Amino acid sequence: DAGVTQSPTHLIKTRGQHVTLRCSPISGHKSVSWYQQVLGQGPQFIFQYYEKEERGRGNFPDRFSARQFPNYSSELNVNALLLGDSALYLCASSPGPGVEQFFGPGTRLTVL
Amino acid sequence: AQSVTQLGSHVSVSEGALVLLRCNYSSSVPPYLFWYVQYPNQGLQLLLKYTTGATLVKGINGFEAEFKKSETSFHLTKPSAHMSDAAEYFCAVSDSGGNTPLVFGKGTRLSVIA
């Protein structure tokens, strides 16, 4: 069975640009969460979506937004990129909230 | 609010030696506790989890962890380290209802010396 997939694998942007990261959950999973992992740190929660509704949001500025589509895939958007947005962005899916999350391989974003 | 403290950002052991990675948590509600492993340039893989019931939890690859409520700890152990265990290990906590997202520690990098 296919696991969580994320695209692209790597991305290089310049300050001020906009980026869209994509995530496809495991088949049958209806919940998707996004995490940011800065080099040398643990992942930090950004968003959780369940059944296309936002269930939770971490302590991130409004430049970060996300959505979940009818097929349960998800996009994370970041506007006005800053150097500090350089990180590994992880997507995790689960059948629902409160159930074990399965992580994708991540998208490595570099902001120059 | 919940938080996780992992003692030691880097642990080095010899092949065949005991692995002990420390995790202490803070939670105002009964916690769910997790250990994840991350290999270079990869995502996170769940090693084991504590939800309810038995406090000694066995996971994949010979790892186990014990939930000690009185010590607010969830240390990860493996009796005999293997070269393939070299990776970054993260402890995480959420509330027992799953209503809060995972809160991760800063991670411990495990090196295994031949």
Measure in Å the smallest separation between the Cα of B42 and chain A Cα atoms.
Answer: 5
- Contact status of B55 with chain A (Cβ, < 8 Å): no
Q: To probe the interface with A, which of B39, B44, B47 has the most A CB atoms within 10 Å? A: B44
* pLDDT at res. A18: 98
pLDDT per residue as tens, chain B (114 positions) = 789 999 999 999 999 999 999 999 998 888 899 999 999 888 899 999 998 888 999 999 999 999 999 999 999 999 999 999 999 999 999 887 666 789 999 999 999 999
Determine the Cα–Cα distance for residues A54 and B87; give it in Å rounded to an integer: 33
Could A4 and B100 be called an inter-chain contact, meaning their C-beta atoms sit closer than 8 Å?
no
* Chain B contact for A38 (CB, 8 A cutoff): no
Lowest mean pLDDT among A12-16, A23-27, B11-15, B100-104: B100-104
Give the pLDDT confidence score for residue B53 in this predicted structure: 86
Q: Which of B13, B16, B50, B25 is nearest to B35 (CA)?
A: B50
What pLDDT score was predicted for residue B84? 95
* Digit-coded pLDDT (tens) for A55-105: 999 999 999 999 999 999 999 999 999 999 999 999 999 988 777 889 999
- Is B104 in contact with A33 (Cβ distance < 8 A)? no
Put simply, the answer to whether B42 touches A44 (Cβ < 8 Å) is no
The answer to whether residue A10 scores a pLDDT higher than 90 is yes
φ and ψ at residue A83, rounded to 5 degrees: -55, -35
Which residues 59-88 on chain A approach chain B with CB closer than 8 angstroms?
Answer: none
- Evaluated on CA atoms B49, A100, B28, B90, the torsion sign reads positive
Which residues in chain A have their CB less than 8 angstroms from residue B88's CB?
none
For residue A1, the model assigns a pLDDT of 62
The β-bridge partners of A90 are A35
Q: Which of A41, A48, A104 lies at the smallest CB-CB distance from B101?
A: A48
Instruction: Compute the distance between CA of residue A94 and CA of residue A91 in angstroms, rounded to an integer.
Output: 10
CA atoms within 13 A on the CB side of B67: 21
